[in-house]
Amino acid sequence: MAGSIAAVLALGIAGGGGYLAGRSSVPDVVPATADPQQAQVAAVSNPAGDVENLDPQEAEQFAENSTPIAEEDVQFEENIDLTVEQIADRTEEMADAYEVGEPLSPEDLEFLRAYMVDESVDSGPTVTTANYSADSDEPNIELAASTTGKINRSKTAFGTSVSQVGSFSLKVGEPNPFANSWSTSFTAKKTSGTSLTKIKAQVNVQGYGAVTQWPFVGKVYETSQSSTSGANVQSWSFNRSGSFGGVILNLEIQTYAYFWNSKGSFQLP
């Protein structure tokens, strides 16, 4: 299932951090990294946090409900002993099942905590912390993470060799704790063989984080943007970016390139 958001795991992306339970602190945040030869998908994970629109008790419940759990500790049957392919399917089903602002079901919340918010600490810069001061019920929040990566893919089909080359960027909690942004820039083109008749470029971005209904974790952002070339174009450049507010647990980006020639159509990845 090419290009699914759960391909994060298949591509060896590392991210996340340990979580200290309770209202006094949240974990370090570690940016995700991707294989530079296959980086069509990337994720930044904040294992916990709080949000302006939640009162202190709700913010504490959000932090508790976003704590990472080990895969072997899952309880719902649909989340037990999942293969990489099953994780990809499950993640895609989640992306399709929710509207922005909608809270996750118990089953999907467990899946996110086990498979989409990593409890291990890998590498990269870390950023802390969100603490309640002794004389205030309001959290002082400082959460930030970012990642950049390269897109470099190629394929041959229907007598045409093509490539997709470019980059992507994800930023969470920058320049302030509730600011998030993404961008991508790439070129899809024929490198040899039968001429193309059309090229389409596309980017999908999804984010899960704090919402105002129990369990206070849900989809907070979603966008899909694309552009299509005119007839008989052999190279097509694509640049898109976006920004949104909110506290993010998991932000993912996928890029796609679609190609047509006189013999058929195919896509990268």
- Predicted confidence at residue 190, as pLDDT, reads 98
Tokens of 215: 């369990």
Average pLDDT over residues 248-265: 92
Residues whose CB is less than 8 angstroms from the CB of residue 87 and which lie 6 or more positions away in sequence, other chains included? 6, 9, 115
Of 231, 237, 265, 229, the closest CA to residue 151 belongs to: 237
150-209 per-position pLDDT tens digit: 899 999 999 999 999 999 988 887 777 778 899 999 999 999 999 999 999 999 999 888
What is each CA distance from 239 to 25, 230, 231, in whole angstroms? 38, 17, 20
- Predicted confidence at residue 117, as pLDDT, reads 76
- Predicted confidence at residue 52, as pLDDT, reads 54
Give the DSSP letter of residue 66.
T
Ranked by mean pLDDT, the top range of 26-40, 132-146, 241-255 is 241-255
Among 23-27, 118-122, 188-192, 248-252, the minimum mean pLDDT is found in 23-27
Among 33-37, 142-146, 228-232, the minimum mean pLDDT is found in 33-37
Task: Name the residue with higher pLDDT: 224 or 146.
Answer: 224
Q: What are phi and psi of 265, to 5 degrees?
A: -140, 155
What are the structural domain ranges in the chain? 7-268
Q: What percent of the chain has pLDDT over 90?
A: 42
202-219 per-position pLDDT tens digit: 999 998 888 888 998 999
- Predicted confidence at residue 232, as pLDDT, reads 96
Peptide bond into 47 cis (omega under 30): no
Question: Is there a contact between 230 and 197 (Cβ–Cβ < 8 Å)?
Answer: no
Average pLDDT over residues 261-265: 97
Task: Name the residue with higher pLDDT: 251 or 154.
Answer: 154
- Predicted confidence at residue 53, as pLDDT, reads 63
228-248 per-position pLDDT tens digit: 999 999 999 999 999 988 888
Separation between Cα atoms, residue 248 and residue 179, nearest integer Å: 9
Three-state secondary-structure class, residue 139: strand
pTM score, two decimals? 0.74
